[in-house]
Amino acid sequence: MFFVFAIISYSIAYKRAKATGRNGYIWGIIAAAVFIATGFTITFGIGVFLGIGLELWNWSENIVENYSVISTITAVFASFGTTWLILRHLNKVPEESFPEPPPPPVFEQKD
């Protein structure tokens, strides 16, 4: 299910990037990669915290099973948040900046 959301974020980012004149493939890959990386990072961080709690504070070993659903839900919501930030960035139309014109030519005057 997690990768389905990553594919959906890819397609939405692709469409928004194309609409604003950006490279759709790159932004789609970025959105999907950030979605997956955020989910893994949050889940890994919660797992490390629970592992430290098991070792240092002698928590029950059932705590990992009890909090697996909560850590997954937290990871999915955090992934949605980071994808939302990317899509919000893609909604901004990039400003076109033109280079300064060259200085006018200077002609030598003959007296």
Decide if 96 is inside a domain: no
Q: What is the pLDDT of residue 93?
A: 82
**Average pLDDT estimate for 26-44:** 96
Q: What is the mean pLDDT of residues 79-101?
A: 90
Average pLDDT of the chain? 92
**Could you give the residue ranges of the DSSP H alpha helices within the chain?**
2-19, 24-56, 63-66, 68-91
Place of tokens 């999907």: 32
- Domain tally, the chain: 1
Q: Is the pLDDT of residue 89 over 70?
A: yes
Residue 19 maps to a domain: yes
| Alpha-carbon span 92 to 45, nearest angstrom | 32
Per-residue pLDDT band for 46 (boundaries 50, 70, 90) equals very high
Scan for tokens 């959105």, then name that residue.
Answer: 31
79 within a domain of the structure (yes/no):
yes
Domain boundaries, position 61:
2-91
Q: How confident is the model at residue 99 (pLDDT cuts 50, 70, 90)?
A: confident
pLDDT category, 43, cuts 50, 70, 90?
very high
Helix (H) or strand (E) holding 108: none
Per-residue pLDDT, averaged over 50-61, amounts to 91
Asked if 24 and 50 count as a contact pair (C-beta separation under 8 A), the reply is no
pLDDT exceeds cutoff 90 at 27: yes
73: pLDDT strictly greater than 80: yes
* Alpha carbon distances (Å) from 34 to 15, 16, 98: 17, 16, 32
How is residue 98 written in tokens? 């033109």
Structural domain includes residue 81 = yes
Residue 73: is it exposed, middle or buried by C-beta count within 10 angstroms (0-12/13-18/19+)? exposed
Q: Write down the residue that tokens 């997690």 correspond to.
A: 2
Residue 54 lies in a domain: yes
Note whether residue 102 is domain-resident: no
